[in-house]
Structures are given as structure tokens and as C-alpha cells.
Amino acid sequence: MISAQTHDACLQERRLISPFPVSLSGEYGKVFSNSYSWGEIRNTVKYIYADTLLGSPVMPHTAFTFSRTEDAVRFADALMGASPFSFRSGLFLAGPRRTGKSTFLRQDLMPELQARGVLTIYTDLWADRGADPADLIAETLRKTMAKLANPLQKAASTVGAVKLAGVEITLADVGQTGGLTLADALIRIGQAAGKPVALVVDEAQHALSTPRGIDAMFALKAARDAMNQGEVSQVPALMLVFTGSHRDKLVGLLRNNRQPFFGASVTDMPLLGRGYVSAYVEWLNAWLASTNQIDSDEAYAAFELLGHRPERLEEALRDIALGPGGAAALGDTVLGKAHALRDRVWADYDNDFGELNKTQKAVLEEMVAQGTGFQPFVVATLNAFARRLGRKVTKSTIQSALAELKEKGLIWQSGRGQYALEDQGMIPWLKARGLRP
């Protein structure tokens, strides 16, 4: 048998032999490359697997995938008018971060639309947080136009101009002053594709952070109206899909008649549930030794505590299944981890809130109490502030408090003066500590 160091190196190098990826580097890399033959390493791997952690390393394992076909079909039907519940104004999907929204878009909804003959275009407004959202959308449309004009073209930046639907277009000018507008670009894309178009905008609420981003949203609405209402002949329908990890911010796109999508509504993204956990545990258990199996019910209880976030569940199961207690420790360990995580986060909220003055605290509390309808400067809200503080307040006092809360990173303000709590995890914490209505 080879050294304990090599044993540990093999155990760390799970990227090839287990469902839990771990990178190999440093001294472990030297062990593999310089010290021992693959025959010796293979013998050690067999020892590790026999050590009741993982199952046989020669089993024909495949990567885990989980399809949300029913959700994809339901949303595609509504987008394409094949359902009594239409999303002709646009599909606005809201859900917490890291719960599978982007994965659903790319692996389920977009392929379903493509199978129905729809050209899908995807852009993520958080792909470059420093860029103006309008520029990210414009760049996505440029790439699409370049590909339609020349399917073999790899990058829009290498193309100066293209001809689409009989019109010569300078790509660098798309979305810029004096160039092709974003609305007209989508119309040309629809004409050139000769099929329906679906534009998918991930983290769409980020568009509200700049004036140009808001203008871009109005441009998308203009394109939708033109393509769907027949204002331009022979143009296929345009479907718009927007997702947001912050519901209150996403609502900012349609809250009132000054917003681009007034009249639409936000739909809560269905969270992954027991079906996902059961499928994942079945796949995972195929990797693990028979004496180290995960219980599906305990895994689902953990999944709920971890906010229905797949990556957190994988992390918890990895630590537990390969830890000293094995899978048998899952129930107590995950419950303990979940509560410990919440306690740490809530302790941070306690510290942040404790550093605020009374006016700032009252503003935060009233913002949570009013929810998406928060209007800080109307008479009713000023009276609510006065009740919380026991004294009258002026608009300028509240304006200063809002500016200070924004500076501290506790609240968000759109380009049009809408406010929302930056971290929505603070809402249950405030309610748990006895938030006054």
C-alpha cells in the first residue's frame, strides 16, 4: 500500500471518480505526476471506494440532469397563444437567486421554443455589472444579426456591416444615437429569420438602474407592439421573457403607466421540489456505497431549509456523505447547518440594523410593511413615519434617510425614484423581530 499522502491525494481528486468535483493542485499534483504510477494510484482509489464512502469506480455513471418539461411546455404554450392564460405582454418570472431560473431558461424553456420553430435570443444583464444594460442588449442583437447574415461568422466584432431583409446595417451603430434602434433591430431580425422570435432577458430588473436601460425596455415594448399587432408587414411575432431574482425590482418594469410594461404581471418561478430531490438522490446514491445511502425524505427537508437551492443541497450532501458520520448523519447535520447559516445571516442583519438611527430604522420598517406599493413622500406614508417615530417628519428628512440607506447598500433606487429593500432576506428577519404593521 502506498503512503497516506497519496491516499489523501486520490481522495481529493474526485473530479474523475465521484459526483463531487474537487480541483487537484499543489503537492497533490506533484504526487500524481512525479511520485507514483497510475497502477499504484488505482489501487489506492479501490481502497478508498472500499472504505464505505463511494461505490465502485468502474460503474457507468453519467452527469446529473433534471428536465422541467411540464413547466417549459406550460410557459411556451402561454407565450405562443396556445393557452387560455396568455403572456402576450411578456412573461415576467421572479424567483430567488440560485434556485435554477437561468438553468430552466437555457435547458428547458428555450429548447422547447426552438422545437416549435422559434428563434431564441438570450442575454444576461448581470453578465457585466459594469456595463450599461442597454449596451448588453444591443451587443446581443448585433451578434444575432451577424449570425443570421452569415451563419459561419463567429464574432460580431469582426463584421462591419451586414445585409438583413434587404437593408444594409452597420452593426456598431445598432442601439446608438443615429443608428438602428433596438426596436428596428428586432424587427429586422424577425424578417431575416422568417420565424417567431423570443428574446429572453435574464436579471431584467437591472435595466432599471440606468436611464438608457429603461429606454431599452421601452424599445423592446415598441418592437413587441409592432411585430405582434401587424404594424410592420410580414413580421413574425415577438415573445418577451424577463426574469428577476428580486421581485420588487422586477415589478418596477410594470408598476404604473409610466413604466414600459404597465398592465403585465409578475409570475413566481416554480421552485424545484420533491421530484428534483428524489431524482438527484437516486442519481447520487448510485455513486455511494450501499452502507452510505442518502435518504430522500431527509434530503428534501434539507432542501427546504436551504431555500430550494440546488448548489447548497449538493454542498451539504457532499460534506455529509464524505464526512465522518456518512449519510446517516444527514438529518441532524443539515438541520444544524441550515440553522447555523440563518443565525449567521441574521446576526449580520442585527449589526446592520443596530447601526442605523431611528429615522432610518422607521424608513426600513415602513418599506417592508408597504411592500411593492411603498411611496415615501405621500401624506399617508409621512404620517406612518410619524407614528413610528412619535414625531412629525419632513420630506427632506425622509429623503436624507433614504440616501443614507442607499449609501449603506440596504436599499435600491431605480432610475425613476422607486425604492426596494436590497436584500429581501431581511424581510423575514424584520418580521421575526416583531415588525410593527
What's the pTM?
0.73
For residues 416 and 427, is the Cβ–Cβ distance under 8 A?
no
Question: What's the CA gap between 276 and 434, in Å, rounded?
Answer: 35
Is the pLDDT reported for residue 358 higher than 50? Answer: yes
Backbone angles phi, psi at 194, to 5 degrees: 65, 30
Mean pLDDT of 156-180: 81
Question: How does pLDDT run across 386-404, given as a tens digit for each residue?
Answer: 999 999 999 999 999 999 9
Q: Select the highest-mean-pLDDT range: 13-17, 296-300, 334-338, 358-362.
A: 358-362
Q: What average pLDDT is seen over the chain?
A: 81
Angle at 436 between CA 431 and CA 437, to 5 degrees: 100
CATH code matching the domain that covers 356-432, chosen among 1.10.40.50, 1.10.10.10, 2.40.50.100, 3.30.1330.10: 1.10.10.10
Task: Identify the band that residue 323 occupies on the pLDDT scale cut at 50, 70 and 90.
Answer: low
Per the model's pLDDT, the better-predicted residue between 288 and 67 turns out to be 67
Per the model's pLDDT, the better-predicted residue between 328 and 195 turns out to be 195
Per the model's pLDDT, the better-predicted residue between 61 and 46 turns out to be 61
Domain limits, CATH 1.10.10.10, in the chain:
356-432
Cell numbers for 130: 459594469
Cite the DSSP H helix spans in 150-270.
182-193, 211-228, 247-251
Q: How many residues are recorded in the chain? A: 437
Task: Identify the band that residue 128 occupies on the pLDDT scale cut at 50, 70 and 90.
Answer: very high
| DSSP assignment string, 346-398 | HHHHHHHHHTS-HHHHHHHHHHHHHGGG--TTSHHHHHHHHHHHTS---HHHH
Per the model's pLDDT, the better-predicted residue between 55 and 222 turns out to be 222
Mean pLDDT of 44-69: 62
Question: What's the CA gap between 47 and 40, in Å, rounded?
Answer: 11
For residues 219 and 377, is the Cβ–Cβ distance under 8 A?
no
Question: What's the CA gap between 426 and 437, in Å, rounded?
Answer: 16
Cα-only R_g, the chain: 26
Question: What's the CA gap between 191 and 219, in Å, rounded?
Answer: 17
For residues 275 and 67, is the Cβ–Cβ distance under 8 A?
no
Is the pLDDT reported for residue 341 higher than 70? Answer: no
Per the model's pLDDT, the better-predicted residue between 260 and 56 turns out to be 260
Q: Select the highest-mean-pLDDT range: 56-65, 179-188, 281-290, 306-315.
A: 179-188
Architecture of the 69-268 domain: 3-Layer(aba) Sandwich (3.40)
Is the pLDDT reported for residue 196 higher than 50? Answer: yes
Mean pLDDT of 111-128: 96
Domain limits, CATH 3.40.50.300, in the chain:
69-268
Mean pLDDT of 154-165: 67
Q: What's the pLDDT at 400?
A: 94
Percentage of the chain exceeding pLDDT 90: 43
Task: Please choose, from the candidates 268, 128, 138, 144, the residue with its C-alpha nearest in 3D space to the C-alpha of residue 206.
Answer: 128
Task: Please choose, from the candidates 311, 292, 253, 342, the residue with its C-alpha nearest in 3D space to the C-alpha of residue 56.
Answer: 292
Question: How does pLDDT run across 402-415, given as a tens digit for each residue?
Answer: 999 988 888 888 76
Question: What's the CA gap between 16 and 8, in Å, rounded?
Answer: 15
Please, what's the b/e burial string for 187-219 (b: 16 or more CB within 10 A of its CB; e: otherwise)?
A: bbbbbbbeebbbbbbbbbbbbbbbebbbbbbeb
Q: Select the highest-mean-pLDDT range: 69-78, 86-95, 418-427.
A: 69-78
